[in-house]
Amino acid sequence: MDYTTPQFFHLMQYAAEAEGDVIDMVSGNPDFEPPSTLRRALQAYADFDQGRFQYPPSDGLFELRALIAKRRGVDTEQVIITNGAGEANYLAMAIALDRGVGSEAILLDPIYPYYPGKVEMLGGTKRVIATNRDGSIDIGAIEQAMSDETALVVLNTPNNPTGAVYDIDDVRHVIDLAETHDAIVLVDEIYDRFDYSGRFASAVPIDSEHRIVTSGYSKSMAITGLRVGFAIMPERYIDAARTRHMLVNVASSRPAQYAVLEALRETPDTYYAEARAQLGDRIDAFTAALDRVGAAYTEPEGSFYVLTRFDGFPGTMANTKRLIDEAGVAGMPGATFGDAFSDWLRFAVVTPRAVEAAERLGEYFG
């Protein structure tokens, strides 16, 4: 299996073992506080009856599925709770590739590295299509690439690593193409709460038998370690998803599901707005500092990553390590995400030290 995700871990370890002080902008771990209700719910769980330490329903706590369904305007039957959005994506891809209608998965470059890894693990073949330079969907290129061999198209909006927020008409267009070719469009919306453009629209309301939407609470509630995600899918596929979920995981961890349910019920919108505003401010400060040194960068409309290019300093693994050792800033090599930005570096701004990092980069390249 050839996939590059362990590079994250490799670099985090390299940064941790470096001699000087290093600002970690490698990982996408949120650095803000989980909702207070979530902490209280976890605490309350400790005293629950022993019965609540036993198997939850395999497809998730009913109240959690029902609440997600209500807020998203779908039937509870269409919602399955998973071990994070990572498992939701895995289930969706497996369903798309298991139907016996083609084995090709269209992935957009830049690519979040787990996607090709999952496709290969599931026996699919990947076909990589570049996005437009601004990170938006190149509809023409996708249209040209699609055939009856196409089983799956994966979209991620807001996007990691480009920060692009896809135009919902473009998403609809891709789903239309999928209907023609009997493919499934997986729309991964894990960064749905991090939209600075005001343009993000979920694909859930697009009524189609050919779209699956995944998301979760790892990023929005700052709980990547709790592993609570979900998929919303057409009813025709939900049994296949349940079966695979049961055979792989039996169920997802119950205290985590309960804590998310309570947090979802009681956390005010201001919680999400504050996290988004803080990250937006940091992105602005980080890119302003990059401006001062004349570095090229992507201006994220969503998510919390900035791609940066320094003249004469391509984003190779060797240069990424050099930056850790010599500038005290750890990012990710652009090549991890495919060809489109292989000369660039990706920085996650989920650290209060983002501005300090930009200043260090300024000094280093200044």
Q: Is residue 39 at the binding interface for its own copies, with CB under 8 A as the rule? A: yes
Q: How deeply is 143 buried, as exposed, middle or buried, from its count of CB atoms within 10 A (0-12, 13-18, 19+)?
A: middle
Q: Site for its own copies (CB under 8 A): which residue of 103, 208, 249, 278?
A: 249
How many residues touch its own copies under the rule CB under 8 A: the total is 57
State yes or no: residue 42 binds its own copies (CB under 8 A). yes
Cβ proximity to its own copies: between 59 and 343 the closer is 59
Question: CB of residue 35 vs its own copies: minimum separation in angstroms?
Answer: 11
- The CA distances from residue 250 to 84, 88, 215, 223, in Å, are 14, 14, 20, 22
Binding to its own copies, residues 57-76 (CB under 8 A): 57-58
Show contacts with its own copies in window 77-116 (CB under 8 A).
83-84, 86-87, 90, 114
- 8 A C-beta contact, residue 37 and residue 263: yes
For residue 224, CA distances in Å to 33, 90, 164, 179, 216 come to 12, 17, 22, 34, 9
- The residue within the footprint of its own copies, chosen from 132, 224, 316, 319 (CB under 8 A), is 224
Residue 354 beta carbon to its own copies: minimum distance, rounded to whole angstroms:
17
Q: How far apart are CA 208 and CA 357, in angstroms?
A: 44
132 binds its own copies (CB under 8 A): no
Question: Of the candidates 4, 68, 105, 118, which one interacts with its own copies according to CB under 8 A?
Answer: 118
* Alpha carbons 277 and 234: distance in angstroms, whole number: 34
Counting contacts by CB under 8 A, is residue 53 touching its own copies? yes
Q: Is 34 in the site for its own copies (CB under 8 A)?
A: yes
Q: How far is the CB of 348 from its own copies (least distance, A)?
A: 12
207 vs 188: CA distance, rounded Å: 16
Residue of the chain from 126, 172, 199, 244 that contacts its own copies (CB under 8 A) = 244
- With CB under 8 A as the contact rule, the residue among 11, 154, 186, 226 that binds its own copies is 226
| Identified binder of its own copies from the candidate list 27, 131, 156, 298, rule CB under 8 A | 27
CB-based contact 304:298 (threshold 8 Å): no
Distance CA 351, CA 226 (A): 20
Q: Residue with structure tokens 């289930």?
A: 91
Please, what is the Cα angle at 292 between 133 and 356, to 5 degrees? 100
Q: How far is the CB of 52 from its own copies (least distance, A)?
A: 7
Q: Is 125 in the site for its own copies (CB under 8 A)?
A: no
Query: What is the per-residue burial (b if ≥16 Cβ within 10 Å, else e) of 239-253?
Result: eebbebbeeeeebbe
Residues that bind its own copies (CB under 8 A): 1, 3, 5-6, 9, 27, 29-34, 39-40, 42-43, 45-47, 50-58, 83-84, 86-87, 90, 114, 117-118, 121, 222-227, 240, 243-244, 246-256
